[in-house]
Amino acid sequence: MRVRFKITQALLAEIRSDLQRPHAFAHERVGFVSAGLSTMGRDLLVLARSYRGVRDEDYLDDRSVGAMMGREAIRRALEWSMQNGHAIFHVHTHGGRGIPGFSSVDIRENKKFVPDFFKVAPQCAHGALVLSDQAARGQIWLNRASASVEINDFVAVGAAMMKWSPA
């Protein structure tokens, strides 16, 4: 199965702009993208719908990581997913050029909280994204019991279409 993530260039620009804002103590910003899902044969299409940044007061002052969300941030995202029946993708940026990668901390923390979204929206796949200034990489869980798989393709649609693949 191939997984393709589609997002409008306008939404992608909104996310990047929000993630670049400074925070009083966190070294980076994080947020959540809601998405719809569709299958095309054996392939899964993830269609980004909207974005919510984590509120300033929902960051924990943890200097060992770039940003640490508190329980309220995750609760708000879980509630958003449950109310709308949307897939949810945690998102942050590493900046720079080229296709980014998840850090070992990202991988560890994603494994801890992303599967929790199946408690409130078990009909959806959920995941995590990391952006650079040019591209993205993603992990997606198809169900609570499975390991994550890599998102194969990202497509930003708008006046000019951009496409990249991590491989």
pLDDT value of residue 167? 64
Q: CB count, 10 Å around CB of 111?
A: 14
| Locus of tokens 């569709």 | 38
Domain holding 28, by residue range, is: 3-164
Which parts of 9-167 are beta strand (E)? 30-40, 43-53, 59-60, 68-69, 87-93, 126-131, 136-141, 149-150, 153-157, 162-164
pLDDT value of residue 161? 63
3-state secondary structure of 1: coil
In sequence order, which ranges of the chain are alpha helices (DSSP H)? 9-19, 71-84, 104-113
CATH number, domain of 67, equals 3.40.140.10
* Residue 8 Cα distances to 30, 56, 96, 143, angstroms: 19, 26, 21, 26
How many CA atoms, within 13 angstroms, populate the side-chain half-sphere of residue 128?
Answer: 24
pLDDT value of residue 88? 97
3-state secondary structure of 105: helix
Q: What is the pLDDT along the chain (167 residues), one digit of tens a residue?
A: 999 999 999 999 999 999 999 998 988 999 999 999 999 899 999 999 999 999 999 999 998 888 999 999 999 999 999 999 999 999 999 999 999 999 999 999 999 999 999 999 999 999 999 999 999 999 999 999 889 999 999 999 987 667 777 76
Q: CB count, 10 Å around CB of 31?
A: 22
pLDDT value of residue 103? 94
pLDDT value of residue 71? 93
Number of domains in the chain: 1
pLDDT value of residue 35? 97
Backbone dihedral angles phi then psi of residue 68, each to the nearest 5 degrees: -130, 120
